[in-house]
Amino acid sequence: MIEAVGLTKSYGKTLAVDNLSFSVPTGRVTGFLGPNGAGKSTTMRMILGLDTPTGGSALIDGKRYRDLHQPLRTVGALLDAKWVHPNRSARAHLQWLARSNQLPAKRVDEVLEIVGLTAVANKRAGGFSLGMSQRLGIAAALLGDPQVLLFDEPVNGLDPEGILWIRKFMHRLAEEGRTVFVSSHLLSEMALTAQELVVIGRGKLISQSSTEDFVAQATENTVRVRGPQLAALRSALGQAGVSIRDEGESLVVSGMDCADIGELAARTQTVLHELSPQRGSLEEAFMQLTGDSVEYHTEIADGPTPATLVPAGK
Amino acid sequence: MSLLEAERIKLFTTRSPWWCGLLAIALPVGLTALIATQAGGPGSAEFDASATQLLTGLGRSVVMVMAALSITSEYRFGTIRATFQAVPNRTSALLAKTAVTAVPAALIGAVVGFGSWAVFRLIHPDPALALDSAADWRAVAGQPLVFAITAVLSLGVGILIRQTAGAVAVLLVYSLLVEGLVGLIPKIGDDIQHWMPFFAADRFIGVQADAPGLQELPLGPWGYLAYFAAIAVAVLAAGILSAGRRDA
Ligand SMILES: Nc1ncnc2c1ncn2[C@@H]1O[C@H](COP(=O)(O)OP(=O)(O)O)[C@@H](O)[C@H]1O
Ligand SMILES: [Mg+2]
């Protein structure tokens, strides 16, 4: 289990992480979601003891990272696939890492096999594609067969094939009972990968919940009702106090679920041609929740200020 | 022990240390061979073994670059983060790197010292070059010590500055220019120069020991070596201390 308590980090005037508390449960894939610049990478660097928090702490199974003995055996992490010397072979990179934590040399070949890099093990890492570099990073993370794994934006910049591979891989790690903490700025990606979600914006915690709950809570749940005569149903819905919106031939109802609307339709003897729950897109839901926290949000979203739209000379 | 091995794997699995090592040997030994062919013309001064070591400073400069690179390239490529992730005790990690940098530097120093002496003697066989005094032995066999300490000092500077260009510039400009120029400061220049680290290293080796102005010095050869080592250790300690405090 990873636990952050009041984690804070400022770089000069920039408050990158702001009093962040969350916990990553054991044996599940937990997504770490937030727009770019939200502080995900900074948080992960603090968990790994690379950056020193300005305040608060991050603990792994109750210990600070720097107090772990041979930490690669406890925590594996891929923060940046480029943290490899370009002139060193993939095998040599894994060899020195393995040696530093007294891991058996044969483990190097095992992890190369797991990520499918055996054929290029003796090639210089500088010549690797991004997808291959990510695999090498994952191999490094797996070296010590750790129970806890951290991945920072592992699918960023990958082609669909690479994304699929990573996604399957995360699932496999969780099935093996490991704790996986994986960051992304894409909710759609996290919805496919993570069971739990820690959502942050501008360094602050927005929510921690199951992915399902987050999506349900974030999405405005509406029901589309279509039929030849909806007047009776409409007035019944009106009396029930839900909000109704006309959309062409149909009604869009929010505040009541399909089952209840169906019952009501039966009672008012209304013929229905469609009764379907509507879900906003995940990205919309995410933007809705983190909207206020997106850094540079106003600059990007507002476009030209109204003043500049006023014709000159008016 | 495993940390030393990890650092050893790192050092020998990229090519640049090999090239640096080769250059650190070939440059001084090659040029020493060249001046040996010109040595001992009529009217030239008497010389001894330390005269064969005049150009070893070139090798020392290459070792400086090599040692600084061994850490600045880690910062450049981000492998320092991988290192600190694997070994969160930064002091141990950096001390292991120090050892793994100093030992090859000492070996290079040995080859440069004895190589320069041997090639000089081969080309210019002169009984005066025989290693027949403590000073002669110090001049030649002392090189591994000087090279190793130079590597430690350079590594310390590399840890402090973290950028290759900056660290190499500081080291080379300081050792090749600043120390020499300090002596030109009127009145106090000489006194300051007598406490400069690479001046100290040269006093230990004893190059041009007969030169005027080098007769009344505050320390003897071994005192100067200890002083040089103390400075290197201090710089390294400062580097390790700052690496422990800064974000990786
Ligand atoms: N080393 C650093 N120095 C200064 N500012 C930084 C540093 N690292 C991150 N930041 C700033 O902290 C904020 C969070 O960055 P980051 O953790 O990289 O976000 P994310 O990974 O969620 O995109 C950003 O505003 C970023 O500019
Ligand atoms: Mg990031």
Taking a C-beta distance cutoff of 8 angstroms, is the pair B10, B80 a contact? no
pLDDT at A293: 52
d(CA A258, CA A254): 10
**Minimal-distance CA residue to ligand 1 atom 8:** A42
| Average pLDDT of span B215-225 | 89
Percent of chain B at pLDDT above 90? 72
Q: Do B88 and A68 touch (CB under 8 A)?
A: yes
d(CA A170, CA A194): 9
d(CA B143, CA A154): 49
Taking a C-beta distance cutoff of 8 angstroms, is the pair B117, B49 a contact? yes
Q: Do B82 and A140 touch (CB under 8 A)?
A: yes
A–B interface: beta-carbon pairs under 8 A: 80
Taking a C-beta distance cutoff of 8 angstroms, is the pair B179, B198 a contact? yes
Q: Do A71 and B247 touch (CB under 8 A)?
A: no
pLDDT at A308: 34
| A38 Cα nearest atom in ligand 1 | 22
Q: Do A92 and B13 touch (CB under 8 A)?
A: yes
Residues lining ligand 2 (ion), CB within 5 A? A 41
Task: Give the residue, B215 or A156, on which the prediction is more confident.
Answer: A156
Instruction: Give yes or no for B77 touching A (CB within 8 A).
Output: yes
For ligand 1, whether the C-beta of A40 sits within 6 Å is yes
Give the residue from chain B lying closest to A71, CA to CA.
B86
Domains of chain A: 2-217 (3.40.50.300), 220-279 (3.30.70.1510)
Taking a C-beta distance cutoff of 8 angstroms, is the pair B106, B147 a contact? yes
Ligand number nearest to the C-alpha of A204:
1
What single letter denotes the amino acid at residue A288? Q
Q: Do A80 and B248 touch (CB under 8 A)?
A: no
Nearest by CB to B86, from A45, A71, A88: name it: A71
What single letter denotes the amino acid at residue B68? A
Question: What are the tens digits of pLDDT across the range A71-83?
Answer: 999 999 999 999 9
For ligand 1, whether the C-beta of A34 sits within 6 Å is yes
Nearest by CB to B87, from A52, A89, A100: name it: A100
Residue A185, token pair as written in the block: 């700025």
In this structure, are strands A148-151 and A75-78 parallel, antiparallel, or unpaired?
parallel
Taking a C-beta distance cutoff of 8 angstroms, is the pair A200, A39 a contact? yes
Suggest the residue from B1, B11, B13 to mutate for an interface test with chain A (most A CBs closer than 10 A): B13
Tell whether the model's pLDDT for residue B2 goes beyond 60.
yes
| Tokens 């509507």 found at | A278
For ligand 1, whether the C-beta of A14 sits within 6 Å is yes
| Average pLDDT of span B214-236 | 93
A5 - beta bridge partners? A57
CA distance A16 to chain B (A): 14
pLDDT at A284: 64
> Which residues of chain B lie closer than 8 angstroms to A65, CB-CB?
88
Residues 6 or more apart in contact with residue A299 via CB below 8 angstroms: none
Q: How far is the CA of A152 from the centre of ligand 2 (A)?
A: 7
Identify the three-state secondary structure at position B24: helix
pLDDT at A241: 81
Rg (C-alpha) for chain B, rounded Å, is 19
A60 - beta bridge partners? A2, A63
**ipTM of model:** 0.91
Instruction: Give yes or no for B244 touching A (CB within 8 A).
Output: no
d(CA B168, CA B62): 10
Buried b / exposed e across A24-34, counting CB within 10 Å, b at 16+? beeebbbbbbb
Q: Do B10 and A80 touch (CB under 8 A)?
A: no
pLDDT at B42: 52
- Residues lower than pLDDT 70 in chain A: 218-220, 279-314
Suggest the residue from B85, B245, B247 to mutate for an interface test with chain A (most A CBs closer than 10 A): B85
Residue A129 to residues A132, A158, A165, B63, B75: CA-CA distances in angstroms? 5, 10, 15, 34, 22
Q: How far is the CA of A10 from the centre of ligand 1 (A)?
A: 9
pLDDT at A312: 38
pLDDT at A303: 38
For ligand 1, whether the C-beta of A36 sits within 6 Å is yes
Question: What are the tens digits of pLDDT across the range B10-31?
Answer: 999 998 899 999 999 999 999 9
Taking a C-beta distance cutoff of 8 angstroms, is the pair B16, B10 a contact? no
For ligand 1, whether the C-beta of A41 sits within 6 Å is yes
* Mean model confidence pLDDT for chain B: 92
